[in-house]
């Protein structure tokens, strides 16, 4: 799970909603014994992409530690090179032995890097991953439907009350081996 920690996520409760949804995914995956990793991404400046691990695949995390890590990421909240971080997550998950692999990007779908226009590159990276069929990828729009411009497989969460049902639907539709 990748959580967008960019400046555009700082308003309207988007980042806290994404952090809560990612925590919910950790809890559901732990219950179902599905390995799960959660990271946030932003940029510190034009030279520093930040890919911050909140929870690694092989480690448990307490809710307190998770909230502390999410809080540290919230201090930066600047630009975001979605494509760079999707590629980091892609390369990390490719190393896993599980047959079914899924990257979930929780974002408002507004890539904006210090290095210039990055929407088209993000679309290209996602399309390449989708066509390779090694890893499934989906965008979860947090209070925004822009993810539909990037991800073929997408879902939008408009309110906190939608999180539990959305998480179950995401797992049901994306984690079964028959798909």
Residue-wise pLDDT for 42-79, tens only, equals 988 778 889 999 999 989 999 999 999 999 999 888 88
Q: Is 109 left (phi over 0), alpha (psi -120 to 50) or beta?
A: left
pTM of the predicted model, to two decimals?
0.92
Rounded to the nearest integer, the mean pLDDT of the chain is 90
- Please compute the mean of the pLDDT values over residues 115-125 and round it to a whole number: 87
Single out the residue of 79, 89, 78 nearest to residue 116, CA to CA: 79
Q: Mention every residue, 6+ apart, whose C-beta is less than 8 A from residue 12.
A: 143
Give the integer Cα–Cα distance in Å for 87 and 11: 26
Q: Mention every residue, 6+ apart, whose C-beta is less than 8 A from residue 85.
A: 2, 39, 41, 49, 51
- Are 110 and 146 spatial neighbours (Cβ–Cβ below 8 Å)? yes
Please spell the DSSP secondary structure of 136-164, one letter per residue: EEEEEEES--GGGGT-SSEEEE-SGGGHH
């Amino acid at each position: 799970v990748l959580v967008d920690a960019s400046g555009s996520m700082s308003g309207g409760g988007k980042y806290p909603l994404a952090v809560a949804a990612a925590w919910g995914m950790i809890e559901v995956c732990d219950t179902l014994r599905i390995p799960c990793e959660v990271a946030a991404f932003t940029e510190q400046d034009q030279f520093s992409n930040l890919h911050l691990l909140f929870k690694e695949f092989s480690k448990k995390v307490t809710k307190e530690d998770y909230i502390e890590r999410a809080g540290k990421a919230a201090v930066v909240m600047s630009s975001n090179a979605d494509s760079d971080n999707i590629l980091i997550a892609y390369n990390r998950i490719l190393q896993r032995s599980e047959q079914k692999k899924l990257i979930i990007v929780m974002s408002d779908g507004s890539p904006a890097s210090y290095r210039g226009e990055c929407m088209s590159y993000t679309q290209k990276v996602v399309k390449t991953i989708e066509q390779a069929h090694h890893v499934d990828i989906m965008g979860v729009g947090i209070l925004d439907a822009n993810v539909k411009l990037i991800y073929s497989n997408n879902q939008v969460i408009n309110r906190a009350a939608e999180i539990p049902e959305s998480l179950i639907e995401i797992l049901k539709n994306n984690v079964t081996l028959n798909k």
